[in-house]
Structure 1
Amino acid sequence: MTAQPFTVADVMTKKVVAVLPGADFKEIVATMERWKVSAVPVVEGEGRVVGIVSEADLLLKEEFHEHRLGLVEQMRRLDATAKAGSRRAADLMTSPAVTIRRGASLPQAARLMATHRVKRLPVVDASGTVQGIVSRSDLLKVFLRSDQELAAEVLRDVVEHLFPLSHREVGVQVDAGVVTLSGEVRDSALIPVAARLARAVEGVVDVKCELTTRKAGT
């Protein structure tokens, strides 16, 4: 049976540092500095995420500290200038926050980050209550899996599954996350399938497929 793919729940940070909508500017900065984070979700009630404040939101105050904008530029950057003059999380935050559910796949999380140009996503349940937070660096954790672990999964979930009769003749080697498949198999149509499935294993960097088809009569 093929292993279940990694989800956001497998890599997210479960301990979330958050602030309330009424948190003031200096409190937010101090919180980020204390916990060494670059953004904090803004929550209300029992943890429902209503927005997120990032370093980029806070730096607008410094950007406009001495730089006075003309009327045209003010109109063009209304949101930025409003945040530059704000002091509370409710006014500084980006809202609504782009969030994700814990059962989402890692590719889904990566696409969502890329689409919205964000570096992290609060992880929420059906009611919008924060469950964790996932960052771009979290999505890379799967590439820390050992070569031995990757080889075992490729052998079990790809080779033995696709080639039940000839799997002992297929070699699986992994070096720095790169999988090499070698040996002879009976069905040539399954060779590209094997390469594709091996590449889909979480943590695999690349696949070199050197499989060949057994000649008739051998």
Structure 2
Amino acid sequence: MASSPYTVNDVMTTTVVAVTPDAPFKEIVAVMRQWKVTAVPVLEGEGHVVGVVSEADLLHKEEFHEDDPGTIEHMQRLGDTAKAGSVSAKDLMTTPAITVGAAATLPQAARIMALHKVKRLPVIDAAGVLQGIVSRADLLKVFLRPDDDIETQVREEVVERLFPVSRHGIDVIVAQGVVTLSGTVRDSALIPVAARLVHAVEGVVGVTCELTGPPASTAASTP
């Protein structure tokens, strides 16, 4: 059986600081400073995520602090200026919150972050209850996987499965997450397949495929 891909549940942070919708502005700033975070989820009821307050939401108060409320910029950015005048999380937060499920794969979480231009995502269960937080840094944890672990998985799940006859003549070297495959295989059509499968292994940074097919004379004589 192939190992399951890493999921958000494998890398997320489960100790999460959050605020309620009624949390005042200064309390939110203090919480962010104390916990050294740049955003906090806003929870309602029994832990349901209803929004997120980020530093960007809070900075509107400073940005428009000295501006005349009647300026053209104010009129063009009514949402931002409204936050500048807000004093509690329910008015400051971005809602609905952009979230992810714990079972989502790391590429899925990365795509959500990129699409919505956010640095972290609240992780929720099927009922919308907060389970943790996953950040960009968390998604990169997979690249700390030891080279030996990667080599073992590549041998067992790629080399031995694709090349059961040729496997003993295939070398797998992993250095700093870069996998190098070399050797001769019977079926050259499977070489690009092997490269793709190795690249999909969690923690692989790059793939150098030096596999070659059999000599022309050998290939021609193979039944």
Q: TM range, normalised to the smaller chain?
A: over 0.9
Tell me the residue number matched to 1:128.
128
The match for 2:187 is 187
Deviation sequence 1:55-107 (CA, Å, 0-9, x none): 11111111111233544322211110010111100000000000110001111
1:43: Cα distance to partner?
0.3
Aligned ranges for residues 1-218 of structure 1 at < 5 Å? 1-68=1-68, 70-215=70-215, 216=218
- 1:183 aligns to what SS in structure 2? strand
Range that drifts further, 146-155 or 80-89: 146-155
Matches of 1:31 and 1:44, distance apart in 2? 17
* Aligned mates of 2:11, 2:70 — CA distance in 1: 45
Residue identity (%): 66
Question: What RMSD over aligned residues (CA atoms) do the two structures have, in Å?
Answer: 1.2
Give the TM-score, by structure 1 length: 0.97
Counterparts of 1:150 and 1:69, CA distance in 2? 58
Aligned residue pairs, count: 218
- Structure 2 unmatched runs, 5+: none
1:130-182 deviations in Å (ceiling 9; x for gaps): 00111111111111111111111111111111111211111100111110000
Matched residue of 1:148: which SS? helix
CA distance in 1 between partners of 2:134 and 2:33 (Å): 19
3-state SS in 2 of match to 1:34: helix
Q: What secondary structure sits across from 1:140 in the alignment?
A: helix
- Give the Å deviation of 1:39: 0.5
TM-score normalised by length of structure 2? 0.95
Partner of 2:164: helix, strand, or coil? coil
How far did 1:205 drift? 0.6
CA distance, structure 2, for counterparts of residue 8 and residue 173 of structure 1: 28
Write the letter of the residue equivalent to 1:86.
S
Counterpart of 1:111 in 2: which secondary structure? helix
